[in-house]
Amino acid sequence: MTRIKICGITNIDDALMSIDAGADALGFNFVPGTPRYLKDTEAAAKIIEQLPPFITTIGLFVNADPEVIQATADECHLDMLQLHGDESPQFCQAFNRRVIKAVRVKDESSCSHMSDYRVSGYLLDTYVKGEMGGTGVAFDWRIAVKAKQYGRIILAGGLNPDNVASAVQQVRPYGVDVSSRVEASPGRKDPVKVRTFIQNVKEVDREWKQSN
């Protein structure tokens, strides 16, 4: 079954609403200067400590100092790290938590270095010059299908309630990741969009299971 991550969580109401809708994981943004940046790690920790069991919490970082990443992960009790910058394979192995490495997809060559990494999974997002993720722009999903040879693929980049079913049908990824396209405003989720997104993923999964 396709795992579902709702990213850019900034408050406990959105976190619990997303879980109630069926999310498997929540993403917390620790990237300065971005709309969903959680500057106050203590506030992030308070959100996370109120979550129910069996929900995976993931911290997003871009080219951050390893000491900052480790300290934030420890303070917030993050389950996993999602690294969106130019982090090397060696850098990704420096932590006592599992790592998801983000790959900015421009064309097929964008994925050629994935074989160098030993990580839990790869998040494929769309390459946009000057941006490190969360662009809300889709890429050619055929590239994601080919990238599955390197490991578990989490599909991101422009997914929304209207196109996520087609994306899952075409790619059959390990998981999907959404942030801006299920918001009412930056940092605030739209419950209807979140629920519709998740329902559409689960419906495709049910149909696939019945046909196989």
Residue 127 — very low, low, confident or very high, per pLDDT cuts 50/70/90? Answer: confident
Active-site option among 14, 125, 140, 177: 125
Amino acid 132: pLDDT: 54
Give CA–CA dist 108/81, Å, rounded.
25
Task: Please give the average per-residue pLDDT across 51-80, as a whole number.
Answer: 98
Output the pTM of the full model: 0.95
What's the mean pLDDT when you consider all of the chain? 95
Amino acid 138: pLDDT: 87
Active-site option among 7, 76, 92, 111: 7
111 a catalytic residue: no
Q: Of 2.120.10.30, 3.20.20.70, 3.30.1330.20, 3.40.50.1980, which CATH number belongs to 3-211?
A: 3.20.20.70
The string of pLDDT tens digits covering residues 157-212 is 999 999 999 999 999 999 999 999 999 999 999 999 999 999 999 999 999 999 98
* Domain boundaries along the sequence of the chain: 3-211
Give CA–CA dist 133/166, Å, rounded.
21
Amino acid 137: pLDDT: 80
Q: Is 8 left (phi over 0), alpha (psi -120 to 50) or beta?
A: left
Amino acid 174: pLDDT: 99
Give CA–CA dist 18/194, Å, rounded.
7
What are the tokens at 53? 């069991």
